[in-house]
């Protein structure tokens, strides 16, 4: 086949990488394992991404830990152990320092 005269589809088929059955099975197992850790955050997705970018977090797991740490800090700082409002600004700098230093 003359590649210079072939269509885009034919070029794609020529370049398409064949994977072995063993690699295919390994990929399916990996995808299934990864799928078990996924969650659907629905309408919060855009806010999640904005927080991730704004706080310079590299992975979704870092965003989750960041949010869990904030909640833990806020509940631990109240006598009742329940989420308190009004302390968010007081602890924000401390939490940011903690996360930034933990990454480096």
Residue 13 vs residue 69, higher pLDDT: 69
Structural domain span for residue 30: 3-35
Among the listed residues 73, 97, 68, the one whose alpha carbon sits nearest the alpha carbon of residue 87: 73
Q: Is 56 left (phi over 0), alpha (psi -120 to 50) or beta?
A: left
Kindly report whether the global pTM for this prediction surpasses the value 0.85. Answer: no
46 shares its domain with 23: no
Are 96 and 48 found together in one domain?
A: yes
Examine the domain organization and report whether 46 and 30 are in the same domain: no
Question: In this structure, are 21 and 70 located in the same domain?
Answer: no
Domains of the chain: total: 2
**CA angle 68–71–82, rounded 5-degree value:** 140
Confidence at residue 42, expressed as pLDDT on a 0 to 100 scale: 92
DSSP secondary structure of 48-59 = HHHHHHHTT--S
| Residues 55-81: tens digit of each pLDDT | 999 999 999 998 988 888 777 766 665
Residues 10 and 30 in one domain: yes
Between CA 44 and CA 40 the distance in angstroms is: 9
pLDDT at 25 over 70: yes
- On whether both 51 and 91 belong to a single domain, the answer is yes
């Amino acid at each position: 086949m003359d590649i210079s005269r072939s269509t885009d589809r034919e070029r794609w088929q020529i370049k398409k990488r064949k994977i072995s059955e063993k690699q295919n099975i390994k990929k399916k197992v990996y995808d299934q394992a990864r799928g078990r850790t996924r969650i659907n955050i629905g309408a919060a997705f855009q806010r999640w991404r904005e927080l991730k970018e704004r706080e310079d977090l590299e992975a979704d797991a870092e965003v989750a830990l960041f949010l869990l740490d904030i909640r833990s800090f806020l509940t631990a700082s109240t006598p009742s152990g329940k989420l308190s409002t009004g302390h968010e600004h007081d602890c924000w700098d401390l939490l940011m320092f903690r996360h930034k230093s933990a990454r480096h």
